A = this chain, B = another copy of it.
């Protein structure tokens, strides 16, 4: 029993943190949000340079062969900096799907190296989401159909933009016709694979929400320490302090839940789905509270487009409802807790 990360894991995420602090300043985010695609080739190249596109691609395909647990710390950083890139869908979800395919799969041989070197963008679509993020901008679409996995080029589908308040993603309604040509994997294997995608997306989102919550807390804290009213920093007023302390409490108790969910995926824990839903709920709550309290501390400034806070709030609100909204995840909790003979109570936290 050891609930700590390795030195390697910590120093990788620390390096990414420091890198993004320089390379993903809010001014740059604003610029990328304003572009038509919402994507930046420069940003993508830098992420690839850092090895992030290759993180979980097997070494045989030019990657680093790391896993779910490595990703979770990275995802916290991607959230903290609200990185506008389809990195998670491409380098985490699509890689997870591709890895499961047979060694002779063309998809695997063709795309994994391109993902690893940063040259491919993949969009992943499942009916749990009404829209597919960044479909128009993708080199490849991996889509669900009747539990099967299909692969096609964006040009083979009809894409209708449905703009989001979170400009770091472009959402599309995707209409397409499944065929033998597009099918990559049948329903039997696909069923489990898609569950794996939902859960991995869930952990990635939870970790990003944690990072976003921390960022909004930091923005609120900085603002409160500087902004003066009635002759002193508003951060010296107890009401402001307690608003921010409440956020810190939420984050503190969401973090281990999220990190455990990642480990459950990494080890194939039979209750991984439960752990992911728990993570989604607490991380979402932390992010929503951080948004609410941070805007409150910012006062009218927080309600503007000019304050950086707005980008992080919008990203948090939007992200929290994708790959299963809170209702979906609450229902998964209920299904477990209220089942007859559920393994509840002390001594059951780490049982199988």
Interface of A with B (CB < 8 Å)?
237-239, 242
CB distance from A232 to the nearest CB of B (A): 13
Q: Which residues of B are found within 8 Å of A238, using beta-carbon distances?
A: 237-239
Q: Which B residue's beta carbon lies closest to that of A238?
A: B238
Q: Which residues of B are found within 8 Å of A242, using beta-carbon distances?
A: 239
How far does the alpha carbon of A237 sit from the alpha carbon of B237 in the complex, in Å? 9
Q: Which B residue's beta carbon lies closest to that of A239?
A: B238
**Could you list some 5 contacts between A and B, CB below 8 A?**
A237-B238, A238-B238, A238-B239, A239-B239, A239-B242
CB distance from A302 to the nearest CB of B (A): 20
How far does the alpha carbon of A237 sit from the alpha carbon of B242 in the complex, in Å? 12
Q: Which residues of B are found within 8 Å of A237, using beta-carbon distances?
A: 238
CB distance from A138 to the nearest CB of B (A): 43
How far does the alpha carbon of A301 sit from the alpha carbon of B236 in the complex, in Å? 28
How far does the alpha carbon of A46 sit from the alpha carbon of B237 in the complex, in Å? 50
Q: Which residues of B are found within 8 Å of A239, using beta-carbon distances?
A: 238-239, 242
How far does the alpha carbon of A238 sit from the alpha carbon of B237 in the complex, in Å? 7
How far does the alpha carbon of A132 sit from the alpha carbon of B13 in the complex, in Å? 65
CB distance from A18 to the nearest CB of B (A): 37
How far does the alpha carbon of A288 sit from the alpha carbon of B285 in the complex, in Å? 25
How far does the alpha carbon of A239 sit from the alpha carbon of B246 in the complex, in Å? 13
How far does the alpha carbon of A242 sit from the alpha carbon of B237 in the complex, in Å? 12
How far does the alpha carbon of A239 sit from the alpha carbon of B238 in the complex, in Å? 6
Tell me which of A237, A238, A242 has the highest count of chain B C-beta atoms within 10 A of its own C-beta. A238
How far does the alpha carbon of A239 sit from the alpha carbon of B244 in the complex, in Å? 13
How far does the alpha carbon of A238 sit from the alpha carbon of B238 in the complex, in Å? 6
Q: Which 5 A-B pairs have the closest CB atoms?
A: A238-B238, A238-B239, A239-B242, A237-B238, A239-B239
How far does the alpha carbon of A21 sit from the alpha carbon of B239 in the complex, in Å? 35
How far does the alpha carbon of A237 sit from the alpha carbon of B238 in the complex, in Å? 7
How far does the alpha carbon of A237 sit from the alpha carbon of B239 in the complex, in Å? 9
Q: Which B residue's beta carbon lies closest to that of A242?
A: B239
How far does the alpha carbon of A242 sit from the alpha carbon of B241 in the complex, in Å? 13
Q: Which B residue's beta carbon lies closest to that of A240?
A: B238
CB distance from A255 to the nearest CB of B (A): 26
